[in-house]
Amino acid sequence: MFLLQLVGFIFLLSVSEVISQCPPSSGIYLLRNGICYPNGSYFWDETVNAANEAISCVLSGTSLTTGQWVRVADPDDPVDCDNTNNDPFRCTSVTSPNATLSLYLAQGLPAAQEGWYKCCLPTDCSDPNTNTIFANIFRYAEIESFTADLPSDMTVYPQEYKLNCTKIGHYRYDISMNIGSTALASYTNCDDRSSTCPGTELVSFSNTLRYTVNITWDGINVSSGSISQSTTGDQMYQCVVQVAGQPTRTRDIIVKVPATAPSSLTEVNKTATTITVSWNALDSSDADGYVVNVTSDTDTVQTVQVEGSSNNTITLNGLRGGTTYSITVRAYQQLLGPASTISVQTLPGIYLRHKENCYTNGSYFFDADIKEASNSIMCVLPGSTLNGGKWVTPSGSSVNCSTDPLHCNEVSSPNATISLYIPIGQSLLPSDDGWYKCCLPTDCSDPNTNIIFANIFRWAQIEPITVDLPSDITVLPQTYTLHAIKIGSDDHSAFLHAANWYYESGSASTELCNGNRVTEYSCNFMYGDGMSVDYGNGRWDYTLNVTWNGENITSGVLSQSNNNGDHVFRFNLFFGHYSSNPVARNKDIFVTAPATAPSSLTEVNKTATTITVSWTTLDSSDADGYVVNVTSDTDTVQTIQVEGSSNNTITLNGLRGGTTYSITVRAYQQLLGPASTISVQTLPGIATAPVMYL
Query: For residue range 648-660, what is the model confidence (pLDDT) as tens digits?
Result: 999 999 999 999 9
Give a yes or no: residue 688 inside a domain: no
183-192, 471-480, 500-509: least confident range: 500-509
Position 15 confidence tier, pLDDT thresholds 50, 70, 90:
very low
Instruction: Give the distance, in angstroms, between the CA of residue 157 and the centroid of all CA atoms in the same chain.
Output: 10
Looking up residue 152, the CATH number of its domain turns out to be: 2.60.40
Q: Write out pLDDT tens, residues 397-447.
A: 999 888 888 999 998 888 899 999 999 988 899 999 999 999 999 999 998
Higher per-residue pLDDT: 87 or 465: 465
114 and 209 fall within a common domain: no
Mean pLDDT across the chain: 88
| In-domain check, residue 631 | yes
195 found inside a domain: yes
Residue ranges making up the domain that contains 225: 146-255
In a domain, 694, yes or no: no
Give the number of domains in the chain: 6
In angstroms, how far is the first alpha carbon of the chain from the final one? 79
Whether omega before 262 lies within 30 degrees of 0, making that bond cis, reads no
- Is residue 260, in this structure, part of any structural domain at all? no
Single-letter amino acid, residue 258: P
How many of the other CB atoms lie within 10 Å of CB of 562?
20
* pLDDT given for residue 147 in this prediction: 96
611-614: list long-range contacts, CB under 8 Å, 24+ apart: 611/651, 611/652, 611/655, 611/661, 611/663, 611/680, 611/682, 612/649, 612/650, 612/651, 612/652, 613/649, 613/650, 613/652, 613/663, 613/665, 613/678, 613/680, 614/648, 614/649, 614/650
Domain stops at, among 221, 255, 289: 255
State the CATH number of the domain containing residue 281. 2.60.40.10
Structure confidence at residue 5 as a pLDDT band (50, 70, 90): very low
Opening angle at CA 463, ends 462 and 466, nearest 5: 115
Residues 542 and 637 in one domain: no
Domain presence at residue 44: yes
Convert the pLDDT of each residue in 248-269 to its tens digit: 999 999 999 999 999 999 999 9
Helix and strand totals (H; E) in the chain: 1, 55
Q: Decide if pLDDT at 685 tops 80.
A: no
For the segment 320-338, the average pLDDT, to the nearest whole number, is 94
pLDDT, tens digit (0-9, with 9 covering 90-100), for 117-159: 999 999 999 999 999 999 999 999 999 999 999 999 999 989 9
Q: Which of 197, 223, 255 is the last residue of a domain?
A: 255
The pLDDT tens digits of the residues spanning 537-587 come to: 678 888 888 888 887 776 554 445 555 688 999 999 999 999 999 999 999
pLDDT at 526 over 80: no
What is the rounded CA–CA span in Å between residue 132 and residue 336? 39
* Same domain as 13, residue 122: yes
Would residue 23 count as lying in a domain? yes
On whether both 492 and 585 belong to a single domain, the answer is yes
Distance CA 60, CA 100 (A): 8
Q: Please, are residues 118 and 70 in contact by the beta-carbon 8 Å criterion?
A: yes
Mark whether 341 and 363 lie in a shared domain: no
Asked if 90 and 157 sit in the same domain, the reply is no
pLDDT (0 to 100) of residue 687:
54
Nearest to 224 by CA among 160, 176, 284: 160
- Answer yes or no: do 661 and 564 share one domain: no
With 0-12 CB in 10 A as exposed, 13-18 as middle and 19+ as buried, what is 185?
Answer: buried
Domain boundary among 345, 378, 408: 345
Q: Which residues of 305-337 are buried (b: 16+ CB within 10 A; e: fewer)?
A: ebeebeebebebeebebebebbbbbbbbbbbbb
Q: Which of 12-21, 130-139, 402-411, 615-624 has the lowest mean pLDDT?
A: 12-21
Question: Cα angle vertex 53, ends 48, 54, to 5°?
Answer: 75
Q: Establish how many alpha carbons lie within 13 A of residue 377's alpha carbon, considering only the half-sphere containing its beta carbon.
A: 31
Note the pLDDT tens digit of each residue in 61-92: 899 888 999 999 888 778 888 767 778 999 88
H-helix or E-strand containing 626?
A: strand 625-632
Same domain, 451 and 467: no
Q: Which residues of 433-450 are buried (b: 16+ CB within 10 A; e: fewer)?
A: beebbbbbbbebeeeebb
Please compute the mean of the pLDDT values over residues 11-22 and round it to a whole number.
54
Q: Is residue 104 scored above 90 in pLDDT?
A: yes
SS3 492: helix
397 with 435, same domain: the answer is yes
The amino acid occupying position 689 is A
CA distances (Å), origin 248, targets 140, 171, 235, 243, 431:
11, 15, 22, 7, 92
Structural domain contains residue 661: yes
The SS3 assignment for 367 reads: helix
What pLDDT is stored for residue 514 in this prediction?
Answer: 59
Inform me whether the pLDDT recorded for 391 exceeds 50. yes
291 and 304 Cβ atoms separated by less than 8 Å: yes
3 pLDDT exceeds 50? no
Residue 515 in this model has a pLDDT that exceeds 80: no
Cα torsion 662, 666, 672, 673 to 10°: value is -110
| Separation in Å, CA 160 to CA 154, 215, 429 | 10, 6, 65
Q: Give yes or no: residues 535 and 626 share one domain.
A: no
One domain for residues 9 and 130:
yes
Highest mean pLDDT among 297-311, 503-517, 656-670: 656-670
Residues 308, 279 share a domain = yes
